[in-house]
């Protein structure tokens, strides 16, 4: 019978395991995910602003008793934030961000090609 210690996978084995590898490589890089998270959180905070303000006002009025006296405001704020930060919203932002990055990359490539063409034309006119 294997013990719990035997079932644990070493770090090297985990890196070589195809299931773990696909999960690692399929995710976005941390800065991209952070940027997407920040965009979604900022939009959610803007939409839930009345609930957030109600909770802040209640917490200022109740100091240490905020946990007990502001449960309703906290619950409403959390429900709103949860509704505005679903996985579907994250996917929408990811898709929009990828499309924007693709468009900027294509524009950059077009600029580079135009500059190269201009340089070729300039060189050919010298001879």
Residue 117's pLDDT is what?
87
More confidently predicted of 22 and 121: 121
Per-residue pLDDT averaged across 61-65, rounded? Answer: 92
- Whole-angstrom distance, CA of residue 40 vs CA of residue 89: 7
Predicted structure pTM score: 0.62
Question: What CA–CA distances, in Å, run from 19 to 5, 24, 29, 33, 66?
Answer: 21, 9, 18, 21, 45
Residue 80's pLDDT is what?
96
Digit-coded pLDDT (tens) for 114-124: 988 888 887 77
Is a pLDDT exceeding 70 seen at residue 19?
no
Burial class (CB in 10 A: 0-12, 13-18, 19+), 81: middle
Work out the mean pLDDT of the chain and round it to a whole number: 83
Tell me the two tokens of residue 127. Answer: 């001879």
pLDDT band at 5 (very low <50, low <70, confident <90, very high): low
pLDDT over 70 percentage in the chain: 75
Is a pLDDT exceeding 90 seen at residue 18?
no
Of 50, 54, 42, 56, residue with least CA distance to 84: 42
């Amino acid at each position: 019978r294997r013990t719990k210690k035997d079932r644990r996978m070493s770090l090297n084995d985990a890196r070589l395991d195809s299931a773990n590898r696909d999960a690692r490589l399929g995710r976005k890089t941390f800065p991209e995910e952070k940027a997407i998270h920040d965009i979604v959180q900022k939009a959610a905070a803007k939409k839930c602003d009345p609930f957030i303000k109600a909770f802040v006002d209640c917490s200022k009025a109740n100091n240490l008793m905020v946990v007990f006296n502001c449960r309703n405001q906290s619950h409403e704020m959390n429900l709103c934030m949860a509704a505005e930060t679903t996985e579907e919203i994250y996917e929408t932002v990811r898709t929009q961000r990828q499309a924007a990055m693709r468009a900027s990359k294509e524009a950059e490539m077009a600029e580079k090609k135009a500059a190269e063409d201009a340089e070729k034309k300039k060189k050919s006119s010298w001879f």
